[in-house]
Amino acid sequence: MRFRKLSLEQKNRYYGLYFILPWFAGFLFLFIVPLLSSFRYSFSNLQVTNDGFSLDFIGLSNYREALLSHESYVRILTESVVDIAVNTPLIIIFSLFFAVLLNQRFRGRVLARAIFFLPVILASGIIASIENGDLMQSVVRSANDTTGGGLSIMKNLELAVLLIESGVSMTFVEYLTGAVSRIYEIISQSGVQILIFLAGLQSISPSLYEAAKIEGSTGYEAFWKITFPMISPLILTNLVYTIIDSFISDETSRLVVDTAFKSYDFGLSAAMAWMYFAVIALVLWITTSLVSRKVFYQD
């Protein structure tokens, strides 16, 4: 029996299947049962007993309680979505800008790359728990109030006055001043994105820039005609990663966990989690639908 030789396109399709096979195996054997159980719990009243737990079907009562009766769920969920809408463009622009800078040839380039990836290391493991602890938060808050807090507010006011006098609209001024006040949050969440953009920049063939330089194009034109289209798939990748990463560590996820393991209301927590999942899916669908239309894929 002779096997038919696969075309390059068919090989690439199989490579994609091989790439997602570990995730699919993990989803099938480890994740699908808890997922279905959580969906079942969201329609039930779960009570812990001596023999395990009991489930009483109550329909949409948990969903109605989360949306209509809970004192903070809707507000916190709305704030999470607004924070993502504000932070995601800033993180993408910041990471792309510094990836372009770090891709240049200069002394100490390896050290500079390590410094910008350092927040990713600091945000993991025991250091993250220390950073999120009450002691660290109180120290940072105290230092900000006594030393840098007033100075930061004054600088934001000076920047706002300068932009307003320059004729910039008030909405854009508020966005920029908010970005300045969020600089620590933006830098701490940009390490992985910088690394992905840097890998994409290094994969662009130097011959494209050489040909553009021979044709007389400037660095500005080379960026918008070569660099930006070539890394546009990575912009979409970083956009999806940034949105998901923002949802993982926000106040809504903490509220879902606290409702389950502090208030012991597992049904309400499951309902909150599923509505939270629906919002994440909707945000991802809207953003990817808009951005994917402008993505350039090199054949």
Model confidence at 160, in pLDDT bands (50, 70, 90)? low
Lookup: tokens for 239: 């956009």
Statement: residue 130 has pLDDT above 50: no
Residue with tokens 């090989």: 11
Percentage of the chain modeled with pLDDT above 70: 76
Residue 205 domain-assigned (yes or no): yes
Count the domains in the chain.
Answer: 1
CA contacts within 13 A on the Cβ side of 299: 2
Q: Which of 25-39, 180-194, 246-260 has the lowest mean pLDDT?
A: 180-194
The CATH number assigned to the domain holding 236 equals 1.10.3720.10
d(CA 143, CA 11): 57
* Whether the predicted pLDDT of 154 surpasses 70: no
| Three-class SS state of 49 | strand
Q: pLDDT-derived band of residue 216, with 50, 70 and 90 as boundaries?
A: confident
In a domain, 115, yes or no: yes
Other beta carbons within 10 Å of 235? 19
Domain that residue 98 falls in: 42-141+153-293
pLDDT category, 140, cuts 50, 70, 90?
Answer: very low
Question: What's the residue count for the chain?
Answer: 299
**Pick the residue with more confidence: 13 or 121?**
13
Q: Which residues contact 43 (CB under 8 A, 6 or more apart)?
A: 57, 58, 59, 60, 62, 267
Assess whether pLDDT exceeds 50 at residue 1: no
Say whether pLDDT at 176 is over 80: no
In a domain, 62, yes or no: yes
DSSP state of 6: P
Integer Rg of the chain from CA: 24
pLDDT band, residue 163 (cuts 50/70/90): low
Type of residue found at 247: F
Q: pLDDT grade, residue 104 (50/70/90)?
A: confident
- Encode pLDDT of 221-260 as tens digits: 888 888 888 898 999 999 999 888 887 778 888 888 888 8
pLDDT of residue 274: 92
Please check whether residue 146 lies inside any domain of the structure. no
Would you give the end-to-end CA distance of the chain in angstroms? 33
Dihedral pair phi/psi, residue 4, rounded to 5°: -75, 135
Q: Is 20 a member of any domain?
A: no
Asked, for residue 24, whether it belongs to a domain, the answer is no
How are the residues of the chain apportioned to helix, strand and coil, as percentages rounded to the nearest 5? 80, 5, 20
- Which range in 9-13, 54-58, 106-110, 235-239 is most confidently predicted, on average pLDDT? 235-239
- Do 86 and 178 touch, CB atoms closer than 8 A? yes
- The answer to whether residue 12 sits within a structural domain is no
- pLDDT category at 86 given cuts 50, 70, 90 is confident
The verdict on residue 22 lying in a domain is: no
Q: In terms of Cα–Cα distance, which of 290, 298, 288 is closest to 227?
A: 298
* Residue at token pair 């350092």: 118
